[in-house]
């Protein structure tokens, strides 16, 4: 994998390339990033660049023997470790290496849920066990076969538990020309003994613009859909792809129309909307409600005077400003958010969508039109 194949993260790419040029590669690095930001592809591209036989100024050549093996994840000096489900036939990560390689070849942007779906998980918990730690020590004790630098990429070291203490000596004093790259999402869940022995490389989440551009170029969505999905995903490319797999109309236009119906007390229109929403399917209904929650939270920022933090696209932002200025108050927005979150909870548990959306619609009328907030909810006014 080359840096040019990775979505966004230009600053991080430059930083990694510079460490190679200046020969200051830390032997143990922790790539800390939110889900779906591309930390795993970055780690692979970084390792490929380090071992490329004909490096360019900003990327590996992609043509030398080392790069060709890296592209198929079969280089003898590239090792992976990752959570798996131990069983009688699966003792260490290498026992499911073919599944791992196929997953990477299919799409290097994935999370533990997607990885779990490729394996026989049964009722087991994923982890990186002590047998895997011993196998890592064994593999890295050998001399490099071809490359100048042996690389171990460990995905989600949060799943090491106490077994990770077996690796402390190796991480602190590795064999010559050995590089550890750990890819984590939660710093708090990593063993502090491992954390203290690594150099942290923070990788930010992708911008909504980068995600929407990717969706426009690859998913066949229209511009409004791509912007909506990017807003919902909040920098998580994995989630954005999952959203794009469903078909849904323009969320922003539909949601604001729903709010206008509530404000105008247009009960017949609300009933028609309920009939239509009931046909969307559960996942689209959940996505719509989630969009509404995120949209109203952005409205809360506008009402609170923090417009600089709002991430809505220009056309949607203009509507949100009008709504926040002339219709909504902070308590009203918070009350609607509570109703939408409750509806999302019930949709996940197979509630009748027609009854549920009608109930939420009538709650919108009460809150927006008649300014009747739910009893028992305390709001503090300025």
pLDDT at 249: 45
> Of 197, 183, 181, whose CA–CA distance to 48 is shortest?
181
- Strand 28-32: give its sheet, edge to edge: 78-81, 150-155, 178-184, 28-32, 199-202
pLDDT band at 246 (very low <50, low <70, confident <90, very high): low
pLDDT in tens, 38-89: 899 999 999 999 999 988 888 899 899 999 999 999 999 999 999 988 888 8
Helices (H), 118-266: 130-141, 168-172, 192-195, 208-218, 223-233, 237-244, 251-263
pLDDT of 305 higher than 70: yes
Which neighbouring-strand residues pair with 200?
30
Domains defined along the chain, listed by start: 3-202 (3.40.50.300), 248-370 (1.20.272)
Average pLDDT score over the chain: 87
Which neighbouring-strand residues pair with 181?
29, 153
pLDDT in tens, 23-40: 888 888 999 998 889 899
Helices (H), the chain: 10-21, 39-51, 65-71, 97-106, 112-117, 130-141, 168-172, 192-195, 208-218, 223-233, 237-244, 251-263, 267-277, 282-303, 314-326, 330-348, 353-364
pLDDT in tens, 103-143: 999 888 988 878 887 887 665 778 888 999 999 999 988 88
Q: Is the dihedral of CA 117, 121, 126, 127 positive or negative?
A: negative
Strand pairing report for 78-81 and 199-202 = unpaired
Please compute the mean of the pLDDT values over residues 194-223 and round it to a whole number: 87
Single pTM value for the model: 0.70
Percent of the chain with pLDDT over 90: 41
Q: Other C-beta atoms within 10 Å of 204: how many? A: 13
pLDDT in tens, 275-303: 999 988 787 788 789 889 988 998 999 99
> Of 213, 247, 258, 208, whose CA–CA distance to 231 is shortest?
208
């Amino acid at each position: 994998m080359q840096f040019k194949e990775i979505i966004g993260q230009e600053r991080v790419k430059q930083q990694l390339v510079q460490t190679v040029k200046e020969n200051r590669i830390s032997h143990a690095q922790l790539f800390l990033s939110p889900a779906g930001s591309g930390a795993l592809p970055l780690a692979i591209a970084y390792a490929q660049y380090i071992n490329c036989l004909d490096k360019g100024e900003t990327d590996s050549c992609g043509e030398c023997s080392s790069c060709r093996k890296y592209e198929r994840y079969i280089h003898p000096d590239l090792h992976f470790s990752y959570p798996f489900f131990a069983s009688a036939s699966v003792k260490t990560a290498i026992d499911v290496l073919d599944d791992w390689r196929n997953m990477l070849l299919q799409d290097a942007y994935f999370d533990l849920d997607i990885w779990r779906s490729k394996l026989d998980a049964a009722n087991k918990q994923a982890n990186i066990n002590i047998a895997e730690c011993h196998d890592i020590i064994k593999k890295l004790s050998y001399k490099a076969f071809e490359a100048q630098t042996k690389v171990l990429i460990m995905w989600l070291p949060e799943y090491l538990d106490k077994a990770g203490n077996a690796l402390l000596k190796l991480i602190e004093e590795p064999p010559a020309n050995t590089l550890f790259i750990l890819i984590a999402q939660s710093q708090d869940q990593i063993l502090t003994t491992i954390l203290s022995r690594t150099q942290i490389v923070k990788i930010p989440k992708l911008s909504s613009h980068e995600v929407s551009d990717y969706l426009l170029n690859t998913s066949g969505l229209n511009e409004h859909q791509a912007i909506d999905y990017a807003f919902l995903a909040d920098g998580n490319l994995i989630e954005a792809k999952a959203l794009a797999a469903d078909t849904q109309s323009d969320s922003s236009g539909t949601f604001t129309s729903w709010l206008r119906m509530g404000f105008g007390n247009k009960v017949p229109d609300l009933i028609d909307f309920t009939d239509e929403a009931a046909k969307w399917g559960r996942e689209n209904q959940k996505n719509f409600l989630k969009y509404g929650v995120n949209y109203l939270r952005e409205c809360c920022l506008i009402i609170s005077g923090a417009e600089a933090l709002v991430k809505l696209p220009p056309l949607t932002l203009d509507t949100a400003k009008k709504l926040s200025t002339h219709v909504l108050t902070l308590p009203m927005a918070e009350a609607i958010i509570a109703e939408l979150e409750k509806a999302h909870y019930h949709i996940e548990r197979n509630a009748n969508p027609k009854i549920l959306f009608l109930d939420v619609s009538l709650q919108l009328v009460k809150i927006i039109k008649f300014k009747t907030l739910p009893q028992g909810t305390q709001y503090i006014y300025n």
